[in-house]
Amino acid sequence: MKKRILIVDDEEDIIRVLATQLRERRFDVQAAIEGQEALTLIRKDPPDLIILDIMLPNMDGTQIAAQLKQNKETAAIPIIFLSALQTKEGEMGGEGFDEEGKNIILAKPYDIDVLVAKIHELII
């Protein structure tokens, strides 16, 4: 059975490219362009993993993640944050974990091979 990934990003070009790249690697992909839409999809049918932009309109990615972590039905869904925000060291292009050490953070522009490797670490 294919693993299902939800991409949440307000840039439709990123969704289109990333969804194509993941489908080519045999993942089932859904997408949302804003937080409330993402939460609705997740509650209806939780994905195996979420790729989440941090900077979103109305509700940022960290707020979405916090809501998911508060619900026992969605708390265990792994999240990979993709963001153009600078790392704490002030450089672009890094990778790491969030403050809780539970979610992976990758910088945009992402390397698809690195991203897929992280997905495999988390759900395969």
Contact 122, 78 (CB under 8 A): yes
Q: Residue 91 is inside which H or E element, if any?
A: none
Pairing of strands 104-107, 79-83: parallel
Number of domains in the chain: 1
Handedness of CA 95, 27, 30, 76 (dihedral sign): negative
pTM of the model: 0.88
Q: Residue 51 is inside which H or E element, if any?
A: strand 49-53
Task: For residue range 74-112, list pLDDT tens digits in order.
Answer: 999 999 999 886 544 433 344 454 545 467 889 888 899
Which residue range forms the structural domain that includes residue 86?
4-123
**For the domain that residue 89 is a member of, what is the CATH number?**
3.40.50.2300
